[in-house]
Amino acid sequence: MKQTIGLLTKYFGDSVAVEPGLRGETFIKLKDESRIREAMELLRDNGFSMLIDLTAVHYPKREHEFELIYNMLAMEPLLRLIVKLPLKGEKPEVESVSSVFKTANWYEREVYDMFGVRFKNHPNLKRILMWENYEGHPLRKEFPLEGDNLHCYD
């Protein structure tokens, strides 16, 4: 794990910050969102061969409203690394990693569907769980839990 972090700091310098997790996980915060594809390629070629999960968290009160979470797995030896990517703005756009990991295709569609984060160069960026004409993004914090229409509470 130290090797990987060393590698990341070597290539990305100050834009990488290591955060210790609550129960022994390693979180890496990548501050430069334009280099996520590069980072994923670097990790994939250095042992982290599987992208286990890709999801997002919405923090409406922060400057960086969204945080993408790339959950990486190295198989030999077993290591888990969680790369966090904070994104600015209400409708952010970020480079797709579906060319690096095929599994990212559906995960990115789900993040787009649920949070409204757009992915550049994605082969098929459509809604996946909700239907096509649906308005709103359900997992955003301002989206209501209940209601018979598709409008959001003010």
Partner 1 sequence: MTDIKKEIDIKTDRMIVNMGPSHPVTHGTLHIVLELEGETIEASHTNIGYLHRGVEKLGEYRTYQKFIPFTDRLNYTSSINNNVGYTLAVEKLLGIQSPPRAQVLEVIACELGRIADHIVCVGINAVDIGAFTAFLYIFKYRELIYDIFSRMCGARLTTSYTRIGGVSRDLDDETIRMIRDFLTRFPSAIDELEALLTKNRIFYDRTRGIGEFSLENAIQYGYTGPCLRAAGLEWDLRKKMPYLGYENYEFEVPTGTRGDVYDRYLVRVEEMRQSVRILEQAIENIPEGPVIIQDHKIALPQKEDVYNTIEGLVSHMKLVMEGVQAPAGEIYCATEAANGELGFYIVSDGGTKPYRIRVRPPCFPIFSSFDEQVQGHMVADAVSILGSLNIIAGELDR
Residues in touch with partner 1 (CB under 8 A): 21-23, 25, 27, 49-53, 55, 57-58, 69, 71, 75, 78, 80, 82, 101-103, 105-107, 114, 127-131, 138-139, 143, 145
Instruction: List residues bridging with 81 in a β-sheet.
Output: 72
Residue closer to partner 1, measured from CB, 101 or 112: 101
Least distance from C-beta 84 to partner 1, angstroms?
Answer: 9
- How far apart CA 12 and CA 43 sit, in angstroms, is 12
Residue closer to partner 1, measured from CB, 11 or 106: 106
How far from chain centre, in Å, is Cα 131? 22
Residue closer to partner 1, measured from CB, 7 or 82: 82
Residue closer to partner 1, measured from CB, 58 or 122: 58
Task: Specify whether the CB–CB gap between 75 and 50 falls below 8 A.
Answer: yes
Torsion of CA 59, 61, 63, 69, to 10 degrees: -10
Tally of CA atoms within 13 A in the half-sphere of 64 that contains its CB = 15
Residue closer to partner 1, measured from CB, 30 or 114: 114
Least distance from C-beta 141 to partner 1, angstroms?
Answer: 8
Exposed e or buried b per residue across 71-88, where buried means at least 16 C-beta atoms within 10 angstroms of its C-beta: bbebeeeeeebbbbbbbe
Least distance from C-beta 66 to partner 1, angstroms?
Answer: 11
Least distance from C-beta 36 to partner 1, angstroms?
Answer: 17
